[in-house]
Structure 1
Amino acid sequence: MHPQLNFDILKGKQIHLAVCGSVSLYKTLDLMRSWLKQEAEVSVALSSSAQEFIRPLFFSALGANKVYTQMFSQNSEEFMLHLEPGQRADAFVIAPASANILAKLAHGLADDLISTQALAFERPLVIAPAMNFRMWQNLATQANVKILKERGHIIVPPASGKMACNEVGQGRLAEIEELHCAVLKNLSPQDLAGKTVLLTAGATQEPWDAVRYWTNPSSGLMGACLALAAYLRGAKVHVVSGPQIPWLPNAIQHSKVKTAKEMYELVLDQADAFDIGIFTAAVADFSPLPFGGEKFKKDKAVSTPENSSALTIEFKANPDILATIGKQKKNGQLLVGFAAESSNLEFAVKSKLERKNCDLLVGNLINQENSGFKSENNSVFMQDRFGKSESLNNLPKTELAWRILNWLVAL
């Protein structure tokens, strides 16, 4: 599982997984394992059709604490199998969900194990349909999906591609990351619902010749963690990133650019639309004056007494995205800046907070072990516009992202 999905949200939670008959159900084994790795407890219900594809032992062997296979039991202590998950589970996931179960859920039918368990669950369901693309496109199926969405259930749309029937279309079970993300969102506070977050992430690339460019080692992981945390907490998120950034769910709007100028133009175009701006991108402050469309050859370098092939490259300043947004920030907009420093961290954070007109400034040392670029952890110093500050040492970037959003919610 991607490091930007390693939030502590699932720890100690009870997740109930209901599996309908589909060849795609093999993915649910990995899905269950991803929940178990994050210290959730998992129970499973298999429809009679699902049991034609897979044996219950697979799930129990991989760690499911209980596997339900039938409505009724001869054991008097298990008489209420159709009600138990609804009483114990924090999240109820149906994956893969057949067209049949969608119809039953939409119309309140409860004539088998999964439909009865689902009807007894009082919170929103996470439903991931998988079926032939013609069945998915059928007006009846789409009407049922519409009803379920209107009731507040989370629908994870099927992916497109080649299916087991050798046809191509939308109907494949969504990828594990999308399903995992949907469960995280289902269990997260929605304290950013109604907010729009504009976030920059990753490194820009400033081209010099046909093959070389000026950049830095930023992976974009901190930005991805913040984008996911904001999305999980209910915000509408638009990420503007450099060419390289970790995986993001389909529900997050994502625009890729290459250069600092391209990022500047796109961000300014969105400057009036955000409630919270989070600027994590490692934007190049300077870009080389371009050599041209050809590859630079070594024999074109100038010879000097000190070096037989010295090379001098001229640079020009790039526009300052954070400073520009800070100057035109409107009342009610919150602005978060990031600073990657090699020394004097607290001074740099306090200075940049004021110069860029930010509401919160987060800084880290790039030469500190297990921190900053290419690390899943980070150690930071943060200060807000009211003078409140805090140092956080060696935290996973997911945890740090969550705490930054907690700070913003409290501002």
Structure 2
Amino acid sequence: MLTHLSFKGFLGRRLQLGVCGSIAAYKALDLVRMFRDTGTDVGATLTDSARQFVTPLSFEALGASPVFSAMYPVGDDVFGHLTPGEAAHAMLIAPATASTLARLANGLADDMLSCQALAFPKPLVIAPAMNPRMWHNAATQANWETLKARGHVCIEPGCGRTACMEEGRGRLADLNEIFLYGLRALTPQDMAGQTVMITLGPTREKWDGVRFWSNPSSGTMGACFAVAAWLRGATVHAVTGPGTPWLPSMISRYDVTSAKEMFEAAEGLWPTMDIGVFTAAVADFSPIPFGDEKFKKGAEELVVRFASTTDILKTLGAAKKEGQRIVGFAAETSSMQENALKKLRAKNADMVVGNIVGRADSGFQSPTNEVFVTDRNGRQEEWPVQPKTEVAWRVLDWLLQL
């Protein structure tokens, strides 16, 4: 799993996974693994057609329990059709076939999965997969619109070549996005109605036709914030420097290269934001450009002049309106606490997170961070090395209490 999707705090949450008869059914096994990695308990329900592609034993071997299949199971569990509605916090059907969409839209309950879905009291998360012509059929589209109108979370299928070798819309959506939609359904929506801007990654300041000034930031910390805020219900806008991680399509992404471009994008977004999280490692200086041609080696020494760039955090902090909140980051090689406290005062931030860079377990290009956190009320904490996903989640917890 991608580092910035590896959230672990879902112990005690339960998801019911419905699997229908599509060649994409094998991908549901990966979904079980992904949810189990978060700590989520997973149950599974396989239709008769799904069992032609995958077996109940495969799901059981990966830790799914219970696994339902037949409408009338052998044994004492005569109320299995009600179990997910009583025990699960979310229900995801992936892949969903045209037949299952029709059942769901029309309230039919003639197999175990449709019974469980009909008895489930919360919105379903539905990810279809089928032949493009089946997907575009008027009946399928009418059923799809009905399900959306009822408030279910409907994930559009992707475009590309399907198993039948046809090109078009109908293949199962990106598995990471399906996973995140399911995880969001398990997550308390304590940031619903909030609009959040994240800056992340490095900037590159061009010098000649092939060289630039930059730093080794990977953008992982900011990506963790972006995903965490979206999981908790926020609308998220990410201003992303070069080389930053994949983000789901549900997050609005603005790819930039230079500090100037990052400032312009952030400045344009900031007036309508509720929260700004500034994790980007923005170059404080930009070289005076040599030009578009490659500089050729000649003299033994090379002198490059630099000009300062706009301080994005300070500038937007000064423009902060009542009700807006700012989290800044301080990447340091020493004196982390002292520098974080200075930044808190100088940048008009509500919180500052300081971290030491240049270590294998903290800072740039590491999946973990050791941080010092402080806020405008004088609260201070030191957190030991932990996954960046956990740092992001805990910082958002703290911010919501300010």
TM-score (norm 2): 0.96
CA contact (8 A) 2:9 2:39 kept: no
- Partner SS, residue 298 of structure 1: coil
| More displaced 10-residue stretch of structure 1: 29-38 or 218-227 | 29-38
Query: In structure 2, what residue type is equivalent to 1:332?
Result: G
Tell me how far 1:62 sits from its aligned partner: 2.9
Which residue matches 2:169? 170
Q: 1:47 to 1:346 in 2, by over 3 A?
A: same
- Whether 1:355 aligns to 2:354 is no
Cα distance per residue 1:58-90 (max 9 Å; x no partner): 222333223222111342x12222222322222
CA distance in 1, matches of 2:74, 2:12: 31
Which residue matches 2:270? 271
Tell me how far 1:368 sits from its aligned partner: 4.4
CA contact (8 A) 2:15 2:186 kept: no
Q: How does 1:241-320 map to 2 (within 5 A)?
A: 241-299=240-298, 301=299, 309-320=300-311
Query: In structure 2, what residue type is equivalent to 1:354?
Result: R
Query: In structure 2, what residue type is equivalent to 1:334?
Result: R
Which residue matches 1:200? 199
Give every structure 1 segment of 4 or more consecutive aligned residues whose post-TM-superposition deviation is greater than 6 Å.
none
Cα distance per residue 1:19-64 (max 9 Å; x no partner): 1111111111111122223333322211111122223222223332
Which residue matches 1:99? 98
Query: In structure 1, what residue type is equivalent to 2:65?
Result: N
- Whether 1:46 aligns to 2:46 is yes
CA contact (8 A) 1:9 1:184 kept: no
CA contact (8 A) 1:5 1:398 kept: yes
- Whether 1:2 aligns to 2:2 is yes
Cα distance per residue 1:326-380 (max 9 Å; x no partner): 1111111111111101111122111111111111111111144511111111111
Tell me how far 1:5 sits from its aligned partner: 1.1
CA distance in 2, matches of 1:207, 1:74: 69
Alpha-carbon RMSD across the aligned residues, in angstroms, is 1.5
Of residues 379, 392, 407 in structure 1, which corresponds to 2:398?
407
CA distance in 1, matches of 2:192, 2:61: 39
Query: In structure 2, what residue type is equivalent to 1:64?
Result: A
Query: In structure 2, what residue type is equivalent to 1:68?
Result: F
Which residue matches 2:12? 12
CA distance in 2, matches of 1:143, 1:347: 61
Tell me how far 1:388 sits from its aligned partner: 1.5
CA contact (8 A) 1:202 1:280 kept: yes
CA distance in 2, matches of 1:3, 1:155: 26
CA contact (8 A) 1:9 1:188 kept: no
CA distance in 2, matches of 1:79, 1:186: 27
- Partner SS, residue 364 of structure 1: strand
Unaligned ranges ≥5, structure 2: none
- Whether 1:30 aligns to 2:30 is yes
CA distance in 2, matches of 1:60, 1:368: 41
CA distance in 1, matches of 2:178, 2:119: 22
CA distance in 2, matches of 1:106, 1:49: 19
Q: 1:203 to 1:93 in 2, by over 3 A?
A: same
CA distance in 1, matches of 2:14, 2:348: 44
CA distance in 1, matches of 2:46, 2:388: 36
Query: In structure 2, what residue type is equivalent to 1:239?
Result: A
CA distance in 2, matches of 1:359, 1:39: 32
Identity of aligned residues (%): 52
- Whether 1:56 aligns to 2:56 is yes
CA distance in 2, matches of 1:41, 1:330: 42
Query: In structure 1, what residue type is equivalent to 2:72?
Result: F
- Whether 1:131 aligns to 2:122 is no
Of residues 345, 354, 379 in structure 2, which corresponds to 1:388?
379
